[in-house]
Amino acid sequence: MHSTAFTRHHLFTPPPCLSARHHPSLRRASTVRMALREDGPTVAVVGVTGAVGQEFLEVLSQRDFPYNSLKLLASRRSAGKQLPFQGKTYTVEELVPESFDGVDIALFSAGGGISRELGPIAAVKGAIVVDNSSAFRMDPGVPLVIPEVNPEAMSHIRLKGRNGKGAIIANPNCSTIICLMGVTPLHRHAKVVRMVVSTYQAASGAGAAAMEELKLQTREVLDGKEPTCKIFKKQYAFNVFSHNSSVLPNGYNEEEMKLVKETRKIWNNDEVKVTATCMRVATMRAHGESINLQFENPLDEETARQILRKAPGVVIIDDRELNDFPTPLGVSNKDDVAVGRIRQDISQDDNRGLDLWICGDQIRKGAALNAVQIAELLL
Ligand SMILES: NC(=O)c1ccc[n+]([C@@H]2O[C@H](COP(=O)([O-])OP(=O)(O)OC[C@H]3O[C@@H](n4cnc5c(N)ncnc54)[C@H](OP(=O)(O)O)[C@@H]3O)[C@@H](O)[C@H]2O)c1
């Protein structure tokens, strides 16, 4: 028996062979240009040559983010490189402490070490740092924000032009953002008491060089050559392996523990039980997550669909008849997180469990888009 559940998908019923890249349920980014405005903030992009840095530029442009000047910063290796942006050519500057003089908003994605070293300096100089690394996420004084989930956590922070002063705001880990975009609306309704997450993570989460390595290895393997393994210790092409972050004494890797700890901080709930298994799969730029939920209160799958249909930044792709559900390819370059395989967990009584499959573009909503949305809350 197949589901007759109404989903947005049914509004557009695509032919069964429609490419996942063109799934009509998913919102395309708008084409509005970033706005050069005298009253806009001075914006710095730190790590602009990287996977997230490049996406920052794309998202700022597409969302018409106002700015009066833009600084593009990276390491000495990239200093002097010319980057075309919005019809102008910008020269990448080497990142130094003085880079933040006069900067209002600094979008950081140059690794945890750089964030730890220069994030506080930028904040002392009056910038609001939106940091993509894990450096400050669990710092009790630093808000950890998903704008659709807990914008109130940063409500005390204002730009210095608005009587505020410098501060650091942390962007959660990409897996946490994608997971909580879909799960939080259900949690608000029925209260999650336990969550089991299994991730299928793409190359992009490990940066631009990892994406290049996956492409190179794929060609090498198809040509019968030994794959080049510089970023990962194992062959990545045509493979699945445990996430490459360090394994901790409790047997969990760091990525898994980020899901546990960040969920508790973002929900302001130390009691929620979370366990995770994080894997790398040979996809390019979007993560998939299988999520099992246990609720304090009953929640049937149709009510869950109704809740998710109204959730900002979420689309449902859940067509059992066509066996059409979210895919990493389908959400790549899209803003929305896609939720499907919504079903009652038959191992739990009284409608107290649900299973979900969520896909999200982790460079976009899992990193750059979420950070730019945080910056938008400051305007
Ligand atoms: N990839 C993701 O989806 C994702 C998601 C969430 C968070 N993050 C976090 O975002 C950060 C960057 O990730 P990424 O994937 O974009 O990495 P990436 O593609 O390797 O890019 C790294 C960027 O950092 C710059 N950088 C490196 N060392 C530097 C230094 N000493 N001084 C100034 N700039 C330096 C690089 O500049 P050069 O080109 O000059 O070397 C490059 O622009 C990491 O903290 C990562 O954990 C990434």
Query: 104 C-alpha to center of ligand 1: Å?
Result: 21
Radius of gyration of the chain measured on its C-alpha atoms = 21
Query: 34 C-alpha to center of ligand 1: Å?
Result: 23
In this structure, which residue's CA is closest to atom 1 in ligand 1?
205
pLDDT the model gives residue 3: 34
Query: 308 C-alpha to center of ligand 1: Å?
Result: 33
pLDDT the model gives residue 11: 28
pLDDT the model gives residue 1: 33
Q: Is 2 a catalytic residue?
A: no
Q: What is the pLDDT of residues 131-174, one digit of tens each?
A: 999 999 999 999 999 999 999 999 999 998 888 899 999 999 99
Other C-beta atoms closer than 10 Å to the C-beta of 256 total 25
pLDDT the model gives residue 85: 85
Q: What is the pLDDT of residues 2-16, one digit of tens each?
A: 333 323 333 223 333
Residues of the chain with CATH 3.40.50.720: 35-170
* Calpha distance 257→265 (Å, rounded): 12
Mean pLDDT for the chain?
A: 92
Query: 264 C-alpha to center of ligand 1: Å?
Result: 26
pLDDT the model gives residue 47: 98
The DSSP bridge partners found for residue 344 are 354
Q: What is the pLDDT of residues 263-300, one digit of tens each?
A: 999 999 999 999 999 999 999 999 999 999 999 999 99
Q: Which residues contact 163 (CB under 8 A, 6 or more apart)?
A: none
Residues of the chain with CATH 3.30.360.10: 175-202+239-363
* Calpha distance 136→123 (Å, rounded): 13
Is residue 360 lining ligand 1, measured as CB closer than 6 Å? no
pLDDT the model gives residue 23: 57
CATH topology for 175-202+239-363 is: Dihydrodipicolinate Reductase; domain 2 (3.30.360)
26 confidence band (pLDDT: 50, 70, 90): low
In this structure, which residue's CA is closest to atom 39 in ligand 1?
49
* % residues pLDDT > 70 (the chain): 91
pLDDT the model gives residue 220: 98
Quote the pTM value.
Answer: 0.91
In this structure, which residue's CA is closest to atom 28 in ligand 1?
75
In this structure, which residue's CA is closest to atom 29 in ligand 1?
75
- CATH class of the domain comprising 35-170: alpha beta
Active-site choice (9, 174, 278, 359):
174
Q: What is the pLDDT of residues 303-339, one digit of tens each?
A: 999 999 999 999 999 999 999 999 999 999 999 999 9
pLDDT the model gives residue 35: 74
* Calpha distance 360→365 (Å, rounded): 7
Is residue 54 lining ligand 1, measured as CB closer than 6 Å? no
Say if residue 374 is exposed, middle or buried (CB neighbours under 10 Å; 0-12, 13-18, 19+): buried
Q: Is 287 a catalytic residue?
A: yes
1-15, 182-196, 249-263: segment of lowest average pLDDT = 1-15
Comparing CA positions, the residue from 91, 39, 92, 27 lying closest to residue 63 is 27
* Calpha distance 249→261 (Å, rounded): 16
pLDDT the model gives residue 34: 54
What count of Cα atoms within 13 Å lies in the side-chain half-sphere of residue 69?
8
The DSSP bridge partners found for residue 82 are 91
DSSP-derived letter for residue 272 is -
